[in-house]
Amino acid sequence: MRVDDLRSFNLFDGLTDDQLAELIEAGTEVGIVPGVDLFHEGEHADYWWVLVDGAIELMRHVGREDNVVGRMDVPGRWAGGFRAWDENGVYLATGRGVIEGRVLRVPAEVLRERSKAWFPFAGHLIEGVYGTARRIEATVRQRESLVTLGTLAAGLAHEINNPAAAATRAVGALEGSCQTLLSSLGRLAQGEISAAQFSELDGLRLEIKPRAADVDPLDVADQEIDLSSWLTRHGVERDWLIAPPLAAAGVDVAWCERVAAVLGEAALEPGLEWVASTYSVATLLAEVKESTRRISDLVAAVRSYSQMDRASIQTIDVTDGLESTLVMLGHKLRDGVEVVRDYDTGIPRIDAFAGELNQVWTNLIDNAVDAMDGAGTLRITTRADGNDVVIEIGDTGAGMTPQVAARAFEAFYTTKDVGKGTGLGLDIARRIIVERHSGTITIDSEPAETVLKVRLPIRQPGN
């Protein structure tokens, strides 16, 4: 390797040819072979790697899979060498060759010696900044992750608690209804009704048509009063147990008159009680079925949101990710927030890191709800546009000033109070969209209408 190979790199501005020659002499030229690792995540960062040509992917192991977190494809980019300033410094990712080329590998102790000799003051600054930043980042990331996890967990617990409580309540009532069903059958048998009479009673039961779901509750209450009065006039003592389920099922007084004509006064009460209990049991079973279905859907949404047991990059429908994110944030979308979905049914599937996109949707939706102070319209739109898919998340909040919108994607910039938000800034959201997915993210804000527009390519470059 020659001095001319490094002279054009901005990284080495200010170094003389002799200094560059010293660096080359102390280092080693290493070839990049596609698919072969140069250094590994978690190992001591004993070497400083400077890219001369070619390309290297930076991989991090998360869960049971490797994820691409960055790419070195511009000459002069560097990685590692952290032990020059921190004895415990390790590689933050694995460097894997992608495009054939070469790197200059310099031992960390040489980097430390040269930086102290050539830039003593800068060396001390780097060492202090690196150590301080590392401690702060570790503490902040841990806190943000715990707060975010706690918020999502609390919201999910609230979502699951409602159907779980409904199922528990229905099961408790179901036991009583089953006992009533059996006891009424026993009383019918004791009344010695004939098989023909029971058959006619069952036929009348089958004639009952369930009410429409949108029936007026006041109409049901009026019908229950009419049935209760009729039952009392006919000597039925447990009208309070029989009238409500019959009214809910749509039974009227005329139908009860037909039952009385079939059974007679003696068997009327156990006969009506049997019919009422069959509908109570059916209603309660429907509640249990709906509650457990809701719990199952929540679990499926969590699985989709977290992308458990999935490959890091996959072909996905962005609508699925948006919907699972809405489920995860369901606790914030109550009361005054109206969610308007405008999904293009013909939108194509895209190549993406699904779990990372879900984190972006979480951040954008959470920001939108916060901007509306929990009351307004959240509009989510998807559409195809040439070789791209466009996702828009809009809110009817106060909007951003031009100054805020201009800085929204800057690192560490926020307008939220401490402890608010998901811990995933718009800067990181931008990095996920732009650097990881070769897309774009923009803001269009005015009073009562702020729209975050994300544009993603259908196919990732190189796929």
Question: For residues 154 and 321, what is the distance between their CA atoms, to the nearest angstrom?
Answer: 20
* DSSP 8-state assignment for residue 332: G
What is the C-alpha to C-alpha distance for residues 406 and 404, in angstroms, rounded to an integer?
5
Selection from 442, 419, 420 nearest residue 429 by Cα:
442
* Structure letter (DSSP) for residue 252: -
Both tokens of residue 195?
């098989």
What pLDDT is recorded for position 290? Answer: 82
pLDDT of residue 411: 58
What are the residue ranges spanned by the domains of the chain? 4-118, 162-293, 309-457
Say if CB 378 and CB 369 are below 8 A apart. yes
- The per-residue pLDDT for 150 is 61
pLDDT, position 148: 56
Q: How many CB atoms lie within 10 A of CB 260?
A: 15
Phi, psi dihedrals of residue 205, rounded to the nearest 5°: -60, -40
Q: What span, in angstroms and rounded, lies between the C-alpha atoms of 31 and 49? A: 11
With 0-12 CB in 10 A as exposed, 13-18 as middle and 19+ as buried, what is 238?
A: middle
**Residue whose entry in the numeric block shows the structure tokens 């009817």:** 396
CA–CA separation, 379 and 338 (whole Å): 8
350/330 Cα distance (integer angstroms): 26
Contact residues for 424 (Cβ-Cβ < 8 A; gap 6+):
148, 359, 360, 362, 363
Task: Please tell me the predicted confidence (pLDDT) of residue 379.
Answer: 94
Provide the strand spans (E) within 287-432. 314-316, 336-343, 350-352, 375-385, 388-395
Distance in Å from the first CA to the final CA of the chain: 33
Cα–Cα distances (Å) from 270 to 177, 241, 259, 367, in that order, read 14, 11, 11, 59
Dist. CA 159–CA 180, nearest whole Å: 33
pLDDT at 425: 65
Which has the closest alpha carbon to 104: 47, 59, 57, 58? 47
Strands 94-107, 336-343: pairing kind: unpaired
Nearest-CA neighbor of 49 among 11, 21, 86, 87?
Answer: 11
Q: What is the pLDDT along the chain (463 residues), one digit of tens a residue?
A: 888 888 888 888 888 889 889 889 999 999 999 999 999 987 888 999 999 999 999 888 765 667 788 888 989 888 888 888 777 778 888 999 999 999 999 998 988 888 888 866 555 545 554 555 455 455 555 555 555 556 666 666 767 777 888 888 888 888 888 988 888 888 888 877 888 988 998 899 888 887 766 678 888 898 889 999 999 998 888 888 889 888 888 888 999 999 999 988 888 888 999 999 998 888 888 888 888 887 877 776 666 665 544 556 788 899 988 988 888 787 777 778 899 999 998 899 999 888 788 888 888 988 888 888 878 999 999 999 999 999 999 999 888 888 778 778 765 555 554 444 443 468 778 888 888 889 999 998 888 889 999 999 998 776 5
Q: What distance in Å separates the CA atoms of residue 188 and residue 274, rounded to the nearest whole number?
A: 9
Q: Which CATH number fits domain 4-118: 3.50.50.60, 3.30.200.20, 3.40.50.300, 2.60.120.10?
A: 2.60.120.10
Residue 351 · residue 315 · CB < 8 Å? yes
User: What pLDDT does residue 423 have?
Assistant: 39
What is 309-457's CATH topology? Heat Shock Protein 90 (3.30.565)
